Structure 1
Amino acid sequence: MSVEVGTPGTPAGTPTQPPTHHFHATPDHASVALQAMNKLRINTQLCDIELVAGAVSVFAHRVVLAAASAYFHVMFNSDLVEKTQERVALQELDATALELLVEYSYTGEIVITEDNVQVLLPASSLLQMSSVREACCKFLMKQLHPSNCLGIRSFADAHSCGELHTRSHRFALQNFSEVCGTEEFLLLPFKQVEELISSAQLNVPCEEKVFTAVIAWVKHDLPERQKLVPQLLKHVRLPLLNRDFLTSNVDAEPLVRENSACHHLLLEALKYHLLPEQRSTLTSPRTQERQPEGVKPYLFACGGGSLFAIHSEVECYNPRTDRWMPVASMNYRRSRAGVAALGRYLYVMGGYDGACDLSSAEMYNPSINKWINITAMGTKRSCLGIGVTNGLIYCVGGYDGASCLSSVERYDPLTGIWTSCPAMATRRRYCRVAILDNNIYGLGGFDSTNYQCTVERLDPRVGKWMSVPPMMSRRSSSGAALLGGMLYCVGGNDGTMCMSSAERFNPRRNTWEPITAMHSRRSTHEVVEIDGFLYALGGNDGSSSLNSVERYDAKLNKWVLVTSMLARRSSVGAAVLDCLQLERGLAKST
C-alpha cells in the first residue's frame, strides 16, 4: 500500500508541487519475514541457539523463540545461565513436541493428532505457549468418548486443564451407563468412583445400573476393595431400586449380606418399599431422583379424540422452541385417560378406546421412544383424575362403563402393584386431581346427577378425605394444576356450557379467587405447569375438538396463544416429563 501526500486545495490546472512524503506498507511483511527466518532455521543459518531434548537437537533463533514463548523470553532475558549458552538441554520436554513447537514459533501452524496430543499439551504448558495448549484441550474435548473420557479427565487434572477436566467429568456423568463398563472405570481409585456415583447429576436409566457398577468395581480387586463396599453403597439410591432387584440382587449379594455396615442401608430401602404412606417422612439423598445436567421439561399430549376417531398417537412440545413433534404411539387407542409423569417415565392409565372403558396401563420410556405395557388397574376407569406424590400414582374416581366412581387406587412403579385407597365422599366422573403439600385434591366432576363445585382432600398419612371450600363455579372435565403454591382450576363444563373462566385456591387464605379467562372455551382439556407458566391444551369448545394451546402468566394475569398441537384432541391426557436430549433420542429410534 502506497500513499502520496502533496499540497491540499490546489486549483485545477495549476502545476502541483512534488509530494513531500510517501507512505508504503506491505501487509504480509511479518509472515514473509518469518517464512524467510524459518528457511534459515531449516538450513541452520544464523541460528544462535541449539535446543536438545533426548537425542534430538533443534536449531533456532533466540529472538523468534522469545517472541513466541514466555518461557524462552524469561530464559534469554534474565540472569539465568542459559542466557549465554549456545546449547540448552531441556530434560523435561519430549523431542517430538519440541520440534513441533519450534516450527510453530515460526509458522503459527501445528497439526494436533491422537498420537502427539499427549506430549504436546504438557510441552506447550511448560513453554507457556497458551494458544497451542488451548488447541490441544479443544482437540481432546472433541475426542471424548465413553472409552476414554476418564483417562482424559485424569490427564486434564494432572496438567491443570480446568475446562477440559470439567468437560470430561461432565461427559463421564452423562454417559455413565457406557463408562462404567470400561476398563478405565474398573481401574479408577476409590475417591474418583465415589465422586461419580455420589453425583446428583449422574445419568443412568435406573439406579440398578449404579449398584451393578459398584459391585463390578469392587470385585475387580476384591482383596483391596471389599472393605470399601459400605462407603460406596451409601451413595447408591437403594430405595429407588425395583423391589425384585432389591431382594434378588442386593440382598442376595454376599458383599452386602455379609457386611453388617450395609444392613441399615438395606433396611432403609425395604422400609421405603413396605411403608409407602410414610415416604414423605423417609427423606434422604437416597430417596431423591437424580437430575442429570441437560434435563429439560417437555409436554406430552397423549391420545384423545376428534370427530369419530380416537387416537393412540402422542406428540410432545418443547417450550424452548415452541414446537410440537410426534413421538411413538401408545400401544392402545385411548381418550379420557389419566396421564402422569414419575421419574424418567410417562404413565397412561385407563381411558376409553371407542368401545370399552379400560383398566390397562402403559409406560413410555423416552430414552428408547417406546411404550411398555404395565400392570392393569383393579378397576376400569375413564374420565379419571390422576396425581403423583411420594413416588406413587393415584387414580381417582372416573367411570367404569356403568357408573360414576368414588373409588381410588394407587400404583407403585417400584413394585408394579396396585393398592386400594380410601374412597372419596362423592362420586366424581371427569374430576381433576392436583397435589398440594403432599395432599391429594379431588376437584369438581359429575356424580351422574349434578355437576360439582365441591372439592375434597386426602392426606395419605391419615387415610381420610376431608372437605375443602368449594369452587366458585361448578366444573366438570376442567383442567387443574399447581403454580406458585396455589391450585388452579381452569375451564370445564358447568352443565350448561363449556367455560373459559378460571379460578385458583389460595391455601393460606383457604379461599378461591377468579383469574383472567382463557381465549377459548374448553372442557375435556388438560392444564399443566412448565417453568412457572400454565399451559392449557386441546379439549372441546362445545362444538368441535381443539388443537390450540394457550399459556398463562400469573404475574401478568394473562393468557397468550402458543403453537397449536399437530392434531385436534378432545378428552386429551397430558403431563410434563423431564427428558435428556429428547430430540437426539427420537432421531436414534427412527
Structure 2
Amino acid sequence: MEDQNTEDLYRSINHAERMIRKVEVYAQKRLLCDVVLLVGERTIPAHRLILSAASDYFAAMFTNDVREATQEEIRMKDVDSDALAALVQYMYTGRIELRDESVESLLSTACLLQLSEVVEACCGYLMKQLHPSNCLGIRQFADAQGCTDLYKVANNYVMENFCDVMQNQEFCELSADEVSKLLTNDDLNVPNEEMTFHALCTWAKHDMSTRKKYLSKLLANVKLPLLPPQFIADHVETNALFKEDRECQELIMEALKYHLLPERRHSLQSPRTKPRKSTVGVLYAVGGMDCTKGATSIEKYDFRANTWTQVANMNGRRLQFGVAVLEDKLFVVGGRDGLKTLNTVECYDPRKKTWSLMPPMSTHRHGLGVGVLEGPMYAVGGHDGWSYLNTVERWDPQARQWSYVAPMSTQRSTVGVTVMCGKLYAVGGRDGSSCLRSMECFDPHTNKWNLCAPMSKRRGGVGVASFNGFLYAVGGHDAPASNPTSSRFDCVERYDPKTDVWTTVAPISSMRDAVGMCALGDRLFCVGGYDGTQYLADVECYDPNTNEWTKVSPLCTGRAGACVVHIRHTQLI
C-alpha cells in the first residue's frame, strides 16, 4: 500500500484542548461521570479516564484488580478537600493557582497523587518564599514529603543564613536533636564560634525548665576550645546555665586546657577542635607564572563554597616575588618584572581593594622567601640579578623601615620560607651550583641562624608551610631546568622541630615544582605549580589525620610560583 499523501491529511490545531474543555464541562455538570471522590462531606465528580491519564496514583487504582477499580464512590483519606478539588480541576485544565496559605497542602496531596509537575511547581514556589522566619519549617515539611530538591535548597538556606535563622521563633521551637544536628554541621555559616554558643543559649532560655537536661549534650557540639580565651572566661565559665552541670564544666575545662597548654594540643584533638569552614578565613593566590608569562591576577578561595574567584590585579608583572600578611594587608615584596630584579614593595588592602607603595628593600631580590615573625616581616635570600644571596632584611611596621639582620649560612634562591614555633625557617633552594637539601632556622632573640636536619632530597622551587606544629616541604626540582637530568617531585616531607627529624608522608597527585603552600583550617593546601609541560590549576588539600591529599576546586588560572597566604575573616569584616 502506498503512503497516504500528507497534503490530503487534515490536523486540527486545538482538537485536544477543545475535547478536554468539553469533558471539564461534563464534570462540572456531573454528566457522564463514572466516579465520585469523597473527602469528608465533600463530593468531587470525575471521569476515570481523565484521572488515570493525569495521575499514576489513579491509573494504578483503576487499571488493576483492586476494590476501588469498580466502585462508583471512593473515599479519600488524609487529604485536604480543597487541595484535592484543585488538583482534580488541574487534571482537566493543566492550570492551578499557588498561594501561601494552600501551597503546602497542594504539595502533600500532589505527592500522594504522583503529579510530578505540580510537585515541582509547588517546590519552586516554596523555594522563592524562603525566609529566616520560615526556612526551618519548609525544610522539615520537605523532608516529610520526600521532596529532596526542596529539602536541599531549604537546608542550604538554613546553613547560609543561620545567624538570622537563630533569631526567629522556629529555631526556638526546634527539638534538642534538631538543634544538635545544626550545631554539629561544619557547613554552618557563622563568622565565629561565639555565634553558635549564643544560638545554644537562646534556644535553652526559651524553655529553661524542660531544656536544662539537654545542655551538656548540646554544649559538646559547640567548639569551645576554638573560642577566644577571654570569651570563655567572660561568657562561658561564668554562665549560670552551665554552673551546676558537671559534664558542662568538664567541657569548659577542656577548652581552657586547650589554651593554657598549647604544647598538648596535639593530644587534645576532637571534633570540637576542628574549625567550621566559614570561620577559617580565606586563601589568596597572588600572581605567578602562567601561559601569558606572568599572571597579575589575585584569586581568593572560599573553603565553605569550595570556589576560587578573581578579586584583584597587581599593578604590573612580577615573578618570583614574596607575599606576607601584615597589618591585615597583603605585602608583595621584590621579584622581577621580566627585565630587572625589583626591590619595590606594594601593599594591597582587601577591605578597601586599594594598592599603596611601601618603602623599598635595600637589596633587589627575586626568588626570595617572605615570612612574618612576632610582628616584623623578613625577606630572605633570593637573587639580585647578578649573584645568589644569603642576606636577610627585616621590615619594622612601627618604624616603617627595612634593616639587615644576620645572614644565612648559605646562599639561597627559590627558597621556601615559613614561620614555626617562634623561628623563621629557610628550606632548600638553589645556591648557584646545585639545589639544596639543607635547612636553617633564625632566632630573632639571638639574631642567629642555626642548621637543622637536612631533607632527604635536594629541592629547588620547593613549596613549604607550617601546619599543626610541623613543617612540610612539597614538590620541587633537584636541578635547574637547563640540566637534562633535572627531575621534579611529587614527594612530601614533614619536619618535627621537637625531634629535628624529617619523615615522608603521602605524596601529592603529580610531580611539580613552584607550588604555593598554605594552611587553612584543619587542612594544608597545595596550589598550582609547573609539571614541566604546563602551568597547573590543580589544588589539593592534605588531611594529617588520614594522611591523604584530596583535590578541590581548581584555580581560575593555572599558575606556578603563586604566593599563597591566609587571611582570617575577622580581618576582612
Deviation at 1:200?
A: 2.5
Identity %: 28
Specify which structure has the higher proportion of strand: 1
Q: Distance in 2 between matches of 1:322 and 1:222?
A: 41
Q: CA 1:445/1:71 → structure 2, altered by over 3 Å: closer, same or farther?
A: closer
Structure 2 residue 371 is matched with structure 1 residue 381? no
Corresponding residue number in structure 2 for 1:403: 404
Equivalent residue number for residue 130 of structure 1: 116
Contact in 2 for aligned 1:431/1:446 (Cα 8 Å):
yes
1:479 is displaced (CA, Å) by 5.7
Q: Does the CA-based 8 Å contact 1:337-1:351 persist in structure 2?
A: yes
Q: Please tell me whether residue 326 in structure 1 is matched to residue 311 in structure 2.
A: yes
How far does the alpha carbon of each residue in 1:51-84 deviate from its partner, in whole angstroms, 9 at most, with x for none? Answer: 3435544332232123323443455455536833
Structure 1 equivalent of residue 463 of structure 2:
480
DSSP 3-state at the match of 2:4: strand
Q: CA deviation at 1:466?
A: 2.7
Q: Could you tell me which amino acid in structure 2 is paired with residue 224 of structure 1?
A: T
3-state DSSP of counterpart to 1:231: helix
Which residue in 1 is equivalent to 2:453? 467
Pair 441,280 (structure 1): closer, same or farther in 2 beyond 3 Å: farther
Q: Is the 8 A contact 2:537 2:557 kept in 1?
A: no
Shift of 1:517: 9.1
Q: Which residue of 1 aligns with 2:516?
A: 527
Give the Cα–Cα distance (whole angstroms) in 2 for the partners of residues 442 and 279 of structure 1. 26
SS of 2:255's equivalent in the other structure is helix
Q: Secondary structure at the match of 1:300?
A: strand
CA shift for structure 1 position 115: 2.6
Amino acid aligned to 2:378: S
1:150 maps to which residue? 136
- Judged with a 3 Å threshold, the aligned counterparts in structure 2 of structure 1 residues 296 and 108 are, in CA distance, closer, same or farther, namely farther
Distance 1:321 1:239 in 2: 25
- CA distance in structure 2 between the aligned counterparts of 1:195 and 1:433, rounded to whole angstroms: 41
Task: Check conservation: 1:239, 1:273, Cα contact below 8 A.
Answer: yes
Asked whether the equivalents of residues 428 and 439 of structure 2 are also in contact (C-alpha less than 8 Å), the reply is no
* TM-fit CA distance, 1:205: 1.5
Matching residue within 192, 199, 204 for 1:213: 199
Matched, 1:575 2:559: no
State the Cα distance separating 1:427 from its structure 2 match.
10
1:267 and 1:131 map into 2 onto residues whose CA distance is: 55
User: Conserved in 1, the CA contact under 8 Å of 2:458 and 2:477?
Assistant: no
Change (3 A) 1:510 1:220: closer
SS of the residue aligned with 1:99?
A: helix
**Alignment partner for residue 39 of structure 2, among 53, 56, 61?**
53
**Cα pair 2:418 2:464 within 8 Å, conserved:** yes
Rounded Cα–Cα distance in structure 2 between residues aligned with 1:510 and 1:84: 78
Distance 1:150 1:516 in 2: 47
What residue in structure 2 maps to residue 316 of structure 1?
Answer: 299
Q: Which runs of 5+ in 2 are unaligned?
A: 289-295, 335-341, 356-371, 382-390, 395-401, 444-449, 467-471, 495-501, 505-509, 519-523, 541-554
Tell me the SS of whatever aligns to 1:4.
coil
Normalised TM-score (structure 1): 0.62
What's the TM-score once normalised by structure 2's chain length?
A: 0.64
Work out which of the residue numbers 419, 432, 439 in structure 2 matches 1:456.
439
Distance 1:82 1:432, change over 3 A: closer
- Give the letter for the 1:4 counterpart: Q
Q: How does 1:259-274 map to 2 (within 5 A)?
A: 259-274=245-260
Q: Once the two structures are superposed, what CA deviation does each residue of 1:178-212 show, in whole Å capped at 9, x if it has no partner?
A: 22122111110111111111122222211111111
Task: Summarize the Cα distance change of 1:380–1:70 in structure 2 as closer, same or farther, 3 Å threshold.
Answer: closer
Structure 1's 317 and 198: CA in aligned 2 closer, same or farther, altered over 3 A? Answer: closer
Residue 300 of structure 1 is matched in structure 2 by 285
Q: Which amino acid aligns with 1:432?
A: G
Task: Report the CA distance between 1:425 and its aligned residue.
Answer: 8.3
Q: Return the offset for 1:564.
A: 8.4
How many residues are matched? 469
Structure 1 residue 118, shift from structure 2 partner: 1.2
Alpha-carbon offset, residue 33 of structure 1 = 1.6
Alpha-carbon distance between aligned partners in 1 of 2:307 and 2:137, rounded to the nearest angstrom: 40
Displacement of 1:399 in angstroms is: 1.9
Matches of 2:60 and 2:307 in 1, distance apart? Answer: 56
Name the structure 1 match of 2:416.
Answer: 432
Alignment partner of 1:151: what SS? helix
> Would the alpha carbon gap of residues 267 and 362 (structure 1) be closer, same or farther in structure 2, given more than 3 Å must change?
farther
Conserved? CA contact 2:196–2:222, under 8 Å = yes
